Chain A
Amino acid sequence: MIWAMMQHLGYNMWHDEAIWKDKKRWKWSNFCLDRMLTSEVSWNLRMQRLMEKGSAVNTLVIDVGEGVVYPSHPEIAIKGSWSAEKLNAEVKRLKAAGLAVVPKLNFSTCHDFWLGDYARMISSPTYYKVVSEIIADTLEIFDGPPYFHIGMDEESFLCSSGNAYCVYREGDLWWHDIAFYAKCIEKGNCRPWMFSNPGKRDKKDFFANLPKSFLHSPWSYSQSFENQTEPVDSDHLTGNIFALMSDMGFDLAPCGSVWCGGSLTKKGMSLNVKNYPNLALYCKRRVAPERLKGFFMVPWCPSTTGSDYRFMAACDLTDVARAMFEGRDSV
């Protein structure tokens, strides 16, 4: 059973350019960085936590983005991006400590600003060439990982409308490109993994086309999954989507978070402590055991010391969720 944790190496996944230079007029700001945000101190602290004896997390999903100098496309890197050798050495170290290490490159057009100029070449011949080459690089850097997460969340007008350059795929092109990513990944004897929320897409069409060869992570940050019978028409799913997808024969690693769903305080959003344990318990009851391959915690925070508390809370909640799932009284 997978108990996965996401950790950002790159962080250029949001808002490369605001619609207006006058930021006060728009909710989004320019976000993309020209130097790495990831702190080595923070990274090492977090990895130490994951490698602690008794930690529930057994799989680390590294959201790589612009965080590494891809041998085939060094132009994607920014100042401070890790060398391929450095990341490979870190992968080896973590694997030696017993963790499965999985790469994540988010190819959703809402979260692919890490691709630099290529994020403005979606579905062009150049794009396909670059993507195939950096996937091959990544498979090699990660020493043949068991899974490869391709993101694909929030690709819609609704989610991209805050960007000056708003781009998204629909219909056959969307499915063509998902099949393309899968083909590149499967060349490395690796299983594709993706976020699987239909969002505004037609659900019947979405689930009819969604490949069963993938591991799927529908995500919901709800604090409770009881009394939720129908998926709402938004990116946030209600509980029964997990049972629905299980019944349809999809392999699942349901995704939860400490982010979003807590109460808003003067210091910001408080931690969402109810989501993950309740998600685990709900899925234990409602998802067929043969379809439930694990769980995926996404704390959504940069690798900075200021965000370490959130990552640590995500680890603690994974400990709690796993203990509850396994019927243990204590962590």
Chain B
Amino acid sequence: MINRREFVYTMSAAAAGGTMCAFAGAGDGEIAAAFVRGADFARDAKLLAARVKAAGCRMAVVDVQDFAKYPSHPEIATGNSLPPGKVAAAVAAMKAAGVDVVPLLDFASSNDAWLGEYDRMVCSKKYEAVVHDLIRDAYEVFGRPKYIHIGFERDGRNPRKPDDGLVIVRQGDLWMRNFAKAADWVRETGACAWAWFDYPWGLGDFLADCPKDVVYTNFRPLAEAKTGDQFAPASKSKVADQFATIAKKGCLVVPLVKGDEEAAAFRGRIPAGNFLGTMKEVAL
């Protein structure tokens, strides 16, 4: 049930002029791994910062989930959730080591077990109020970061079977409306929204309605794109094609890559002004 394939995503410093980012966490999307990710971040903040820097990066995207006790919704916390002060201290330690921290609050309906009972209230009025509150909390607890990542991967037409038996799939206009609202709430704080780009209904519909000031990152590196995968483009070249297309239409992109070869594949095709850098995975 719990897959704790621990990893760190880092953004390569080689991305010319790009922001350097890292993703720190554990698991491959399995919702039960959420707490471990947070505790590990807090416990190993200095080590994580060292690893991020060793990879030539200066930003870590932390999969917050329920490891933090959110001031507005303490009911989400588990027994091991850290109070905001301790989270802030870990963030400060990372910053002191030269690594900026970006909180990731994954609001994908397939990966939001960390929301507690609210993961069964997706799209309700109560749920929207909670999401809004949590985004504001994350902004303050993480020291007013430049970006807040809102996840939104694997939240599309083809449902992933959850362990708890409840399948919720947002589709079409409703998905985009929810996504745009979350991005609005991030913007409202003063930060910029960042999300996984994992839209299953085609680029035409995506580009017609998507907010262009959101940073988009592909959910899988090119090397892991699988033919027939419901949640990722079917071919490696299609990933790059999609990113080139959305960037040319004005979207900001940070491709997730494995190695310099993949980074080059993106870099050569995406307009410089929309290419904020690359993200890569580094094992802890």
Contact = CB atoms under 8 A, between A and B. Distances in A.
A168 B122 contact: no
B120 A19 contact: no
Interface in A151-178: 157, 161, 163-174
B120 A163 contact: no
A195 B14 CA distance: 61
A128 B124 CA distance: 15
Size band of the A side of the interface?
A: 20 to 34
Interface in B191-217: none
Given A125-B117, A126-B117, A174-B165, A166 B124 contact: no
A6 to B, nearest CB: 28
A166 B171 contact: yes
B188 interface: no
A117 B125 contact: yes
B166 A121 contact: no
Given A120-B122, A126-B126, A166 B168 contact: yes
Q: Which of B127, B161, B169 has the most CB of A within 10 A?
A: B169
A172 B164 CA distance: 8
Contacts of B118: 124
Contacts of A165: 122-123, 168-171, 174
B223 interface: no
B109 to A, nearest CB: 9
Q: Which of A17, A21, A124, A169 has the most CB of B within 10 A?
A: A124
B167 A168 contact: yes
A99 interface: no
Contact of A169 (B123, B124, B165, B174): B165
A123 interface: yes
Nearest to A120: B124
A170 B161 contact: yes
B166 A164 contact: no
Interface residues of B, number: 25
A164 B121 contact: no
Interface string A162-200: 011111111111100000000000000000000000000
Contacts of B171: 19, 163-166
Given A169-B166, A173-B164, A164 B124 contact: no
A123 B166 contact: yes
Interface in B143-169: 157, 159, 161, 164-169
Contact of A117 (B124, B164, B169): B124
A122 interface: yes
Nearest to B177: A164
B120 A121 contact: yes
B216 to A, nearest CB: 22
B165 A171 contact: yes
A26 B157 CA distance: 14
Contacts of B121: 120-121, 124, 126
B78 to A, nearest CB: 16
Contact of A20 (B126, B168, B173): B173
A166 B173 contact: no
Nearest to A22: B173
14 contacts: A117-B124, A117-B126, A120-B121, A121-B120, A122-B166, A124-B117, A124-B121, A164-B170, A164-B172, A164-B173, A164-B175, A165-B122, A170-B165, A173-B165
